[in-house]
């Protein structure tokens, strides 16, 4: 259904502008900058051309049934434009304009008019009130925010659907710092026509998408949504950040997008029945989507921690054994045989007990040998490895070591604290699709998310 | 008592080395690089000079009662060196060497020998098994990790005491990314002689220290510690990250530093009775220390959220109203008068309800006017301001606006999401000592920490 949206032959920008302060200018510039290889049609009766592209007075003048039309016009003229697009054979409309259901009765009428036009045609609609789409594999950026203000992430494995445009743009900007990639970013806006479920259909079979992250404030049809995400989770993991959990925030959400939020405890039960991992904020959303996109499943919840800094091991043990996480994890009890083997690798004042402490003497080759031992111990389900740059013996070779064992053995999550060298390590782990996090808590919580989804899949299969 | 440690006339490095792979080389290099203006005496019988500094065969040959002697020698020769230092009139010993109580009975004997030497003299000891001290106001860096591996933060207002050296170094490295400063970093190591309480004496009267952050795994004398931190908290805020909370992590902690951890629920009660804010990981530790060092106290727990992104407001409201934080916060109920005034500033499709949503049309001058209104509303105790760079109207001027209102009015905590421009905003907020955080949850939790300490101080006074 949505396949053409992801590989369009042509895109029209209706309301394209030469004025750099106008959104119609930013969107056209973004689309050109993103390197889209299809045809681009600016539409605006005031100009003969914009940015060296021929400009059309109306979508009807293009004379080519464009795949996507992005509409950036005042709300009151949008219904007529939608009619024009439908008669010109446009397949997908992306309505950036606001001023619809979210603004009151007048806007609601405009919404209803547009919906009835779309529903009686073959044309599909994303928005209105959306910041646009960013599809890195197709080199398409129709968002309204300039590259000078936010970074857009590279192609990757997370499908990202957001009901809030700004939150989506800011999250993409934040993850770009570490080179974390996405397969697509979709801002649904007011969800008048296309909603999450149809994008889930696409992501479920899209080979480049390993997991999906959704930010939402309300569900249109609870039952249908439940069935859809349950089916999705049986194939791929889905992380949901559903905001508006309390009475006060639900009210704020309804003011924000004009849709009423549902009872949170019902929603929470629904997510867990359907096998979705729940995130509570923008950081958790992408943290969990990453570990779920990059890792194989865990067969149990017994974690071994491997560190060169004793304190980091102790804090990790706190979080693993205090059950404040999503799903209860526990510290693995290493067998005597395992501990004996580890003692042969580490210095005498290190610790072969879990958390394993290599101390500042731990070299990358020690990591390799200890991981080898842990991969063979049946009482260990996953390893939390700390790559900590304060010791002279730590170097980028640790990434190769972790990659090797992660490929052949059990799930590994990596914690990297610090900045100067830590940042390079985080970027390199990410490049190899190894889930790595810049804090103890984020590392442990991500293991919890992986275990939560793994446990669901184990029961279901 | 410790004043001379913070402004020494001279520092000897016993075990200084020309070999760049030796810790005795790194420490000397760090001390020289940090720009220490006092006299530096390398001590090593093998060399006439190191790094253009005259090198002495023994501390007794220096002929100047040095203020601090840093000892980097094998454990077995340390007792004799300590004797030499005492007879040479050294005031403070910093023993970097490991191999003492943490390694078993042999090391314990060495510890006891050193302690009895120190106790019968006027010389004081930090360590053994410490990574050293970093005192940015005195240009002193005696730590064993090179500037090429970790960053050291600029001078600032947080006194940082850590029982774990690596965790301390990595945390300093991490906060340097944003220019977050400290007044001193002390790694206590095995705490054989000087412990936290004496450093608290120093920080309590040190005008450059606004708050203190402690990482610890065990308490030597619980009663004395309680009395000391209670007195401290009545003057300045103290944040404590006490790891080893569960049975398993307490065991790990005892293996790490050789000291037995105490029952966590007792410790927890003690902290709250004494008015200390508890942190659970390395991120919370410095997040809370910053808000406590930079902010005035809160008179209540009613928070107003000011944003340009609706979704960010909704997630914030979730965290503020769900009581999952340290101390219960609540969303302020704005008066009709306040809301009317706000409506005159914002666009019609914005929200004057809390969370206040200026939408993408919110300009820096709108922030100014709305903050002015909120500062006058008696039902608002603090404001969580989001400076979000995705809109073209957001610029660095927002820092001036927040600074003005924070100085004249109520506490403000700032949330900044993203990376490209967000990073610059975070660094600039930090430079002005405005507590700003790169995530919704960290912003809300920090407000909770500020309220927790404020509530304690209000009851005590």
pLDDT in tens, B197-216: 999 999 999 999 999 999 99
Which two structure tokens, joined as six digits, stand for A424? 């390079």
**A1-130 in CATH: which number?**
3.40.50.720
- Where do you find CATH 3.40.50.261 in chain B? 150-294, 296-460
- Where do you find CATH 3.40.50.720 in chain B? 1-131
Computed over every residue of chain B, the mean pLDDT equals 94
Q: Using one digit for the tens of pLDDT, what is the confidence trace for B438-450?
A: 999 999 999 999 9
The answer to whether residues B329 and B444 touch, using CB atoms and an 8 Å cutoff, is yes
Sign of CA dihedral A96, A216, B436, A288: negative
- The DSSP symbol for A416 reads -
- Chain B segment 356-395 residues within 8 A of A by beta carbon are 357, 360, 388-392
Fold of B296-460: Rossmann fold (3.40.50)
CA nearest to B331 within chain A: A248
Residues of chain A scoring pLDDT < 70: 255-262, 323-327, 461
Minimal Cα–Cα distance from B321 to chain A, Å?
Answer: 7
Q: Judge whether residue B366 has pLDDT over 80.
A: yes
The correct CATH number of A150-294 out of 3.40.630.30, 3.40.50.1100, 3.40.50.1370, 3.40.50.261 is: 3.40.50.261
The answer to whether residues B149 and A390 touch, using CB atoms and an 8 Å cutoff, is yes
- In whole angstroms, how far apart are CA A329 and each of A290, A316, B367? 19, 11, 44
- Where do you find CATH 3.40.50.720 in chain A? 1-130
Q: What does the pLDDT read at residue B324?
A: 59
Fold of B1-131: Rossmann fold (3.40.50)
Q: Judge whether residue B253 has pLDDT over 80.
A: no
Contact state of B351 with A256 under an 8 Å Cβ cutoff: yes
Contact state of A322 with B102 under an 8 Å Cβ cutoff: no
Contact state of A314 with B421 under an 8 Å Cβ cutoff: no
- Chain A segment 135-194 residues within 8 A of B by beta carbon are 145-146, 149-151, 162-164, 166-167, 169-171, 173-174, 176-177
Nearest to A255 among B151, B170, B353 (CB): B353
Contact state of A151 with B249 under an 8 Å Cβ cutoff: no
Q: Using one digit for the tens of pLDDT, what is the confidence trace for B313-350?
A: 999 999 999 865 555 899 999 999 999 999 999 998 89
**pTM over the 0.90 mark:** yes
Which two structure tokens, joined as six digits, stand for A138? 């197709």
Backbone angles phi, psi at B389, to 5 degrees: -85, 5
Beta-bridged to residue B133, according to DSSP, are B186
- Chain B segment 343-362 residues within 8 A of A by beta carbon are 348-349, 351, 353-355, 357, 360
Contact state of A173 with B314 under an 8 Å Cβ cutoff: no
- In whole angstroms, how far apart are CA B196 and each of A144, B217, B228, B238? 53, 12, 9, 12
CA nearest to A257 within chain B: B310
Sign of CA dihedral A362, A363, A364, A367: negative
Minimal Cα–Cα distance from A394 to chain B, Å?
Answer: 10
Nearest to A150 among B151, B322, B420 (CB): B420
Contact state of A174 with B241 under an 8 Å Cβ cutoff: no
Nearest to B419 among A177, A248, A252 (CB): A177
Nearest to A248 among B145, B256, B331 (CB): B331
Q: What does the pLDDT read at residue A91?
A: 98
Contact state of A174 with B252 under an 8 Å Cβ cutoff: no
Q: Judge whether residue B259 has pLDDT over 70.
A: no
Q: Using one digit for the tens of pLDDT, what is the confidence trace for B117-144?
A: 999 999 999 999 999 999 999 999 999 9
Burial of B233 (0-12, 13-18, 19+ CB in 10 A): buried
CA nearest to A283 within chain B: B439
């Amino acid at each position: 259904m949505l396949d053409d949206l992801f590989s369009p032959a042509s895109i029209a920008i209706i309301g394209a502008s030469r004025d750099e302060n106008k959104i119609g200018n930013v969107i056209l510039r973004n689309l050109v900058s993103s390197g889209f290889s299809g045809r681009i049609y600016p539409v605006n009766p005031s100009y003969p051309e914009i940015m060296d592209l021929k400009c059309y007075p109306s979508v009807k003048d293009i004379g080519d049934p464009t795949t996507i039309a992005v509409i950036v016009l005042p709300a009151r003229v949008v219904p007529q434009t939608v009619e024009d697009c439908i008669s010109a054979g446009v397949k997908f409309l992306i309505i950036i304009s606001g001023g619809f259901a979210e603004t009151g009765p007048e806007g609601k009428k405009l919404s209803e008019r547009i919906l009835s036009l779309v529903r009686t045609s073959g044309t599909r609609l994303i928005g209105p009130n959306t910041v646009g789409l960013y599809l890195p594999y197709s080199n398409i950026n129709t968002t309204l925010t300039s590259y000078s203000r936010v970074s857009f992430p590279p192609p990757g494995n997370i499908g990202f659907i957001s009901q809030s445009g700004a939150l989506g743009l800011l999250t993409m900007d934040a993850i770009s710092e570490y080179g974390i990639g996405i397969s697509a970013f979709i801002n649904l806006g007011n969800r008048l026509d296309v909603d999450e479920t149809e994008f889930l259909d696409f992501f479920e079979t899209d080979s480049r998408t390993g997991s999906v992250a959704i930010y939402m404030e309300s569900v249109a049809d609870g039952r249908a949504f439940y069935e859809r995400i349950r089916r999705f989770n049986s194939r791929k993991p889905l992380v949901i950040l559903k905001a508006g959990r309390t009475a006060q925030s639900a009210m704020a959400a309804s003011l924000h997008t004009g849709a009423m939020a549902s009872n949170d405890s019902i929603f929470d039960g629904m997510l867990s029945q359907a096998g979705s991992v729940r995130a509570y904020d923008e950081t958790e959303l992408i943290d969990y989507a990453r570990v779920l996109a990059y890792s194989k499943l865990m067969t149990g919840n017994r974690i071994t921690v491997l560190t060169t800094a004793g304190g980091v091991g102790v804090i990790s043990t706190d979080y693993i054994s205090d059950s404040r996480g999503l799903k209860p994890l526990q510290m693995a009890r290493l067998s005597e045989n395992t501990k004996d083997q580890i003692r042969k690798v580490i210095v005498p004042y290190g610790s072969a007990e879990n958390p394993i402490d290599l101390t500042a003497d731990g070299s990358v080759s020690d990591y390799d040998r200890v991981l080898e031992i842990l991969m063979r111990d049946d009482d260990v389900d996953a390893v939390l490895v700390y790559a900590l740059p304060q010791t002279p013996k730590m170097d980028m070779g640790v990434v190769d070591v972790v990659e090797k064992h992660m490929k052949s053995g059990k799930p590994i999550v990596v914690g990297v604290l610090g900045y100067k060298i830590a940042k390079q390590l985080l970027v390199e782990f990410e490049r190899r699709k190894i889930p790595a996090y810049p804090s103890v808590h984020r590392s442990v919580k991500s293991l919890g998310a992986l275990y939560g989804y793994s446990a669901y899949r184990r029961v279901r299969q």
